[in-house]
Structure formats: C-alpha cells, structure tokens
A and B are shown apart, each in its own frame.
Chain A
Amino acid sequence: MLYYSLQRVALAVAICMVAMTILFSLVYVIPGDPASLALGPRATAEMKEALRVRMGLDQPLAMQLYNFFANAVTGNLGYDVWTRRPVTTIIMEALPYTLALAGAGLGWAILIGIPLGCYSAINRNSLMDKITGIISVGTISMPSFLVAVYCLLLFAVHLKWFPAIGAGERGDLADQLWHLVLPAFAIGLGWVGYLARLVRASMLEVLGESHVRTARAFGLPEAMVIRRYALRLAILPTVTLLGIAVGGLLSGAVFAELVFNRPGIGLLVYNEAARRNYPTVMGTVLVTVGVFVICQLVADLLVALLDPRVRRSL
C-alpha cells in the first residue's frame, strides 16, 4: 500500500510538472509577446520593456522555466499585470467560492445519483428504473451551462424562488447557501444522471457475479448481500469516476459562476483572460490543474484502500 501510494504520488507530481511545462511553453509556441498582448497596440516600447522585465521575460528561456518551477513550489505564481498583487493571493480569495460550488454540485450528485442507481439495479425493469433511465439520458445530454441558463430563467427570473446573481452576503452563511442552491443544482444535474447510470450498470454486473450467488446460497439477508457484498464492489468504478468528475465540475463551475455572476476562479479567469492578464490566468489554470490532479490521486488511493486486490498487486 505504501509503495503504491508513493508511486501514485510521484506520478501525480510528474503530471503536474508536465502540465506546468505545457502551460509555460504555450506562451512560446504561440505567436505574440505576452507583454505586448497585455498592454495592447498603443503601448510604447519602454512600457513593454518594463513589463517584460517585471514578468521576467527578458531572461533566457531555461532560466525562466527554472524560475517558474522554483517559484511555483514556494507558492509564488507571479504578480498580476494590472494590480501588481501576488497571483497566489488573488487566487486564494476566489478559490473557496469555486470549491464550495463544485463540492456542493458533486455532493448532491452523489447523494441522489448513487442511491438512484442502486435502486434501479435492484428493481430492474420497474417503473422507477425506466423513469430513471429516461431522466439520466436527458440530463446527461444537457450541457451544464445550458442547464445553468435555464435554471436562472425558470427559478430566478420567472419564479423568483432563488436569487439570480452573486454569492450572498459575506459572513451570512444562510444567505451564501441560499445563493449556492441554483448553481450547484445546475452543475450537478448531469452528474446525477451519469452516476445513476454508472452505479446501475456496475451494480447489475456485480449482482450477476458468482460470489453474490454464493452469498445468496448461504441465505444471507438481502440487505447484507446488497450493502456489504455487492455495493462494496460496485462502488469502485464510481470512486474512480468521481475523481475524474471533479474536472468536469470545475469546468461547470466556471460557466455557473459566469451565468450567476458569482465570484470564483471562473469569473476571475474569464475577466483576466479578456484583459490578457497572462500571469493571473496561467496561475489560476495551474491551480485548477493541481486541484484536479489531487482529486484524482485521492480517488485512486481510495480505490486502493477499498479494493485489496489493487492494494496487493501494486
């Protein structure tokens, strides 16, 4: 288990480093100078040069890459072109909102999707199973930004049940949660359907396996067969998927933040992308990569913890 964990952590670190290099080299592969792009066509040569020095673009390429890595490791992602504040501070202000949103979306997808999938698998071909099947296909087919726009239209603008914009008053937890409902619903909806389908499929597969028949041949109570003998196994592919789902949810959160005008990583990166604020955008993208990689790492380690076969074979 320890060896496997170390191996998996090393892979995660390697992936992050390659991702950083990709991000770094994008700037050089793609034509145009970040400083001139940021300052626009009317900037003077001196202004550009000053910005280049400030962004460290005057140094040799290898040195820049080294600095980029060395700074990132110490938590320094550079300085905002416009405000000159540290990018890390800016990101840390926005990140909690996005994590709360993505977490809430994932939470409700898990709470509804997994039990729904189990129920459908156990009561196969029941009315509920068929309804779940149709709804799953429907929700999977809806792009999350479209769901967000429609939720805004129906529940906020038309019915006025929920607030349309913002993240709620600072310090007022109830208000913040109230503002979280619609966007979290919107980004989680597709995953409810997806999880229900996946859990149903893997549950059906496990229920057909020989060891479940053994458990039944010994007359074990059905609740025990389902929870201890079938679900333990059927949940494994879902855990792996949840790690990957975080990537989708982060993307969904970006859209939801823009639709509902909530503060967060999405709104930040969108606004700064429009201003060609290269350090802030790159820093933010890097942080989301980090979050995504960590979530996948956690999911993989969790699978290893739950599945003794993975634990021992690696």
Chain B
Amino acid sequence: MSAGAVLDIRGLGVDFLTPRGRVHALRDVSLQVPRGSVVGVVGESGSGKSTLILAALRLLPANALILGGEVVLDGEDVLRMSPAALRDLRGRKATMVFQDPSTSLNPVLTIGRQMIDIQYRDRVPTARKRDRAATMLRKVGIPDPATRLDNYPHEFSGGMRQRIAIAMALLCNPDLLIADEPTTALDVTMEAQIIHLLRQLKSEFHGSILFVSHNLGLIAELCDRVVILYAGAVAEEGSVHDLFHRPRHPYTQALLECDPARLAKVSRELPTIPGDVPDLLAAPVGCAFAPRCPKVFERCRREAPRLVADGDGHGAACHLVPAIASSRVGPRPSTGSGRGPPVEPVET
C-alpha cells in the first residue's frame, strides 16, 4: 500500500518543550495518503492533528522536538532533508491551507502580490502569473477577480479569504494538498459554502488531499479514508465506509454514538464524551483512552494496545479489537506494545 502513497508517515514522535515541561504531542504515529485519495484526520483539540500535518512539511515551531520516525513525501524523507531541498519541495509537491484565514494571509501585501509570489518558480512574465491567479480566483468563486487581486486580505470576508487561501494552494498544482481545519474559523453558512467548494474542487483536482477536521459529517462526505487520533496516537483507521459503519475502537464508537444522525447532517463540533483528554506531560501508561473508556478492563491500564488491522486496512488500537474482529476474521494473539510496523495485517 505504501508504495503508492504520496505521503507516508511512519513511527513519528514529536515532543514540545513548554514552560510546564515536555508535552508528548505525537507518539509513534503512522499514516499513509495513497495517491489520488482523500484522507481525513479526526481528533479533539490537543490530539496532535495540527502537529501531525505541520510535521508533514516540517513547519513545526522551534520548541518542537522530533523524536524519531520518518515522513516520506513523494519518496523523500522530509525530516532528513537539507533546508534548500525542503524549500524546493514546499509549494511544489505539497501545499497547505491553514485554519484561520484572518491570519494566514499577509496583511500588508495585496492578494495579487502574494499569489504572484508563490509562482516564483515559473519563468513566465508577471502578467501571465497574474492571469493565472485571476483564473484560479474565479474558480473558487471570487467575483471580479482581476480587480480584486489589488485588494488586501482585510478587505475580504472570512469565507472569501479562505477561498483565496484554497486558490493559492491549488495554484501550485501540488501532488498533495494539506488542509488544516479549513472551516473551523468560519460561521456555519460560510462553512457550508467552503465545503461545497471543496467537494466541487475534489472532482477537478487530481492530487491527493490530507484533510484535518473536527467535523465528522464533512469527513464522511469528502474522504476515502479516515484516521482517528486520540491523545497523540492513532486510535483507529480505515475506509470511511468501514469506520463509520463498523467502528472498532470504543473512542470511535463513542464519537459516533453521541449523535446517531451525525452522518446525515453537517455538524461543527466533535461530540462531547465524558472525561478529559489526558495531560500529555507524561506519556500514559497503558491505553490513553482507558480513563474515559466504558469498556475498560484491567489490561488496558497496564499495557498500551497496538494498532491491529485486517486485510482491508481497517485497524484499531484496542485490546478488544482481536475479539471484535474475531466475529469476522480469525483471532490473533496480541504481543504487547512496542514500536515496529504500525499497521499489522491480520492473517485471515
């Protein structure tokens, strides 16, 4: 599977150095984005979603410490690249749409200036770059794009700004588009419009998309595969169909059970599950979800479960999974936690 992946993250661990101590933001996370597909990442605030995608382009803040693992983008390890090679890769092979459009565009430069600047690699006249920018703006639904290029970001509404950010990302025609909660900072109507736009663009854009969201409905609509992050580790992953219809991890089940109608309607926030996200100042012993898990048993507090997947690539990190899976596939004894290949196919 990973051979055809645009992005292949393996065993990534990231710590943040904070005044309160070391925060273990990501622990042994693996994730693949197959070429041409849309992968969604879901998780509560603080689950490490943003860290994960910033690490994908090595854009982590200075106080982040990469502990290990690799991030392979189009066959090259982003984490072990020279700064020059990294810069060459950003914007060409992968681009990013950030969460808050009110801060992600430079406030003192015109939209046109910024959209022309990102095409700096192309040796074509500026007028031509400007035309391209205008065309892309029209595509994302900005009326009168040629004039609007001379406006500054603050002269657009939030939704418009996010459209511009998306247009900028698509202008580079990247292999991978990474979107970090692109609708969270917008109001409901704006959100609906952006989702509509993304769905529309998905059919035109032939690259892969890594999509981070709170919004399960949006994920269900846009994505082919989903990865559920909990407390800096992958709780469950699989195809949208499998994961939403046969969730295996108690956390995913809880997410979905909170609102049965979730799949049908566009909902903005993840449902509330009793209990708190664990403090990641200390790496949890045993399963990170154990304190909130309704199905918790003694082993969960002692031993961290590893991700176990079936042949369809549907996997969950839960001690109960082999038992659940046994209804369909043969049971497989778990061999404790530890590193190693994150997704382990279950023999059938």
A and B touch in the complex (CB under 8 A): yes
Interface, chain A (partner B; CB < 8 A): 124, 208-222, 224, 228-229, 232-233, 306-309, 312
CA distance A208 to B107 in the complex (A): 14
> Is A218 touching B89 in the complex (CB atoms < 8 A)?
no
Using Cβ atoms and an 8 Å threshold, which residues of chain A touch B62? 124
> Is B91 touching A219 in the complex (CB atoms < 8 A)?
yes
B120 contacts which of A213, A217, A221, A307 (Cβ < 8 Å)? A221
CA distance A229 to B59 in the complex (A): 17
CA distance A176 to B162 in the complex (A): 58
Assess A309 versus B152: contact at CB under 8 Å? Given A211-B105, A217-B57, A221-B120: yes
Using CB atoms, name the residue of chain B closest to A217.
Answer: B96
Interface, chain B (partner A; CB < 8 A): 57, 59, 61-62, 87-92, 95-96, 98, 100, 103-109, 117-118, 120, 152, 154-155, 165, 168, 172
Using Cβ atoms and an 8 Å threshold, which residues of chain A touch B154? 308-309, 312
**A234 CB to nearest chain B CB (Å):** 10
> Is A211 touching B89 in the complex (CB atoms < 8 A)?
no
Q: Could you list 25 A-B pairs, sorted by A, with CB under 8 Å? A: A210-B98, A210-B103, A211-B105, A214-B96, A214-B98, A214-B165, A215-B117, A216-B59, A217-B91, A218-B91, A218-B168, A219-B87, A219-B89, A220-B91, A221-B120, A222-B87, A224-B117, A228-B109, A233-B106, A233-B108, A307-B107, A308-B154, A309-B152, A312-B152, A312-B155
Using Cβ atoms and an 8 Å threshold, which residues of chain A touch B89? 219
> Is A211 touching B103 in the complex (CB atoms < 8 A)?
yes
Using CB atoms, name the residue of chain A closest to B92.
Answer: A219
Using Cβ atoms and an 8 Å threshold, which residues of chain A touch B106? 211-212, 214-215, 229, 232-233
**A172 CB to nearest chain B CB (Å):** 45
Greatest chain B CB density within 10 A among A124, A213, A233 is at: A213
A214 contacts which of B104, B152, B155 (Cβ < 8 Å)? B104
> Is B104 touching A211 in the complex (CB atoms < 8 A)?
yes
**A32 CB to nearest chain B CB (Å):** 54
Assess A220 versus B96: contact at CB under 8 Å? Given A210-B104, A211-B103, A308-B152: no
Using Cβ atoms and an 8 Å threshold, which residues of chain A touch B92? 219
B118 contacts which of A218, A233, A308 (Cβ < 8 Å)? A218
With A217-B91, A217-B98 known, 13 other A-B pairs at CB within 8 A are A210-B100, A210-B104, A216-B59, A218-B95, A218-B168, A219-B88, A219-B89, A224-B117, A228-B109, A228-B117, A232-B106, A232-B109, A308-B108
Using Cβ atoms and an 8 Å threshold, which residues of chain A touch B57? 217
**B139 CB to nearest chain A CB (Å):** 18
**B231 CB to nearest chain A CB (Å):** 25
> Is B87 touching A221 in the complex (CB atoms < 8 A)?
yes
CA distance A211 to B168 in the complex (A): 13
Chain B contact residues: over half helix, strand or loop, or mixed? Answer: loop
> Is A217 touching B90 in the complex (CB atoms < 8 A)?
yes
CA distance A43 to B104 in the complex (A): 74
Chain A contact residues: over half helix, strand or loop, or mixed? Answer: helix
> Is A217 touching B108 in the complex (CB atoms < 8 A)?
no
Using Cβ atoms and an 8 Å threshold, which residues of chain B touch A209? 103
Using Cβ atoms and an 8 Å threshold, which residues of chain A touch B108? 232-233, 306-309
Using CB atoms, name the residue of chain B closest to A229.
Answer: B106
**B119 CB to nearest chain A CB (Å):** 9
Using CB atoms, name the residue of chain A closest to B113.
Answer: A228
CA distance A106 to B150 in the complex (A): 35
Using Cβ atoms and an 8 Å threshold, which residues of chain A touch B98? 210, 213-214, 217
CA distance A210 to B165 in the complex (A): 12
Using Cβ atoms and an 8 Å threshold, which residues of chain A touch B155? 308, 312
**B270 CB to nearest chain A CB (Å):** 23
CA distance A228 to B152 in the complex (A): 15
CA distance A212 to B106 in the complex (A): 7
Using CB atoms, name the residue of chain B closest to A220.
Answer: B117
Give me the 4 closest cross-chain CB pairs, A-B, nearest first. Answer: A219-B91, A219-B90, A218-B91, A210-B103
Using Cβ atoms and an 8 Å threshold, which residues of chain A touch B152? 308-309, 312
> Is A216 touching B90 in the complex (CB atoms < 8 A)?
yes
Greatest chain A CB density within 10 A among B61, B104, B120, B172 is at: B104
Using Cβ atoms and an 8 Å threshold, which residues of chain A touch B109? 228-229, 232
CA distance A124 to B63 in the complex (A): 13
**B277 CB to nearest chain A CB (Å):** 24
Greatest chain A CB density within 10 A among B61, B62, B106, B172 is at: B106
**A204 CB to nearest chain B CB (Å):** 10
Using Cβ atoms and an 8 Å threshold, which residues of chain B touch A308? 107-108, 152, 154-155
Using Cβ atoms and an 8 Å threshold, which residues of chain A touch B168? 218
Greatest chain B CB density within 10 A among A218, A229, A233, A307 is at: A218
CA distance A215 to B89 in the complex (A): 13
**A269 CB to nearest chain B CB (Å):** 41
CA distance A210 to B181 in the complex (A): 14
CA distance A249 to B203 in the complex (A): 63
CA distance A228 to B120 in the complex (A): 13
CA distance A213 to B165 in the complex (A): 13
CA distance A63 to B106 in the complex (A): 55
CA distance A220 to B96 in the complex (A): 13
Using Cβ atoms and an 8 Å threshold, which residues of chain A touch B96? 214, 217
Using Cβ atoms and an 8 Å threshold, which residues of chain B touch A214? 96, 98, 104-106, 165
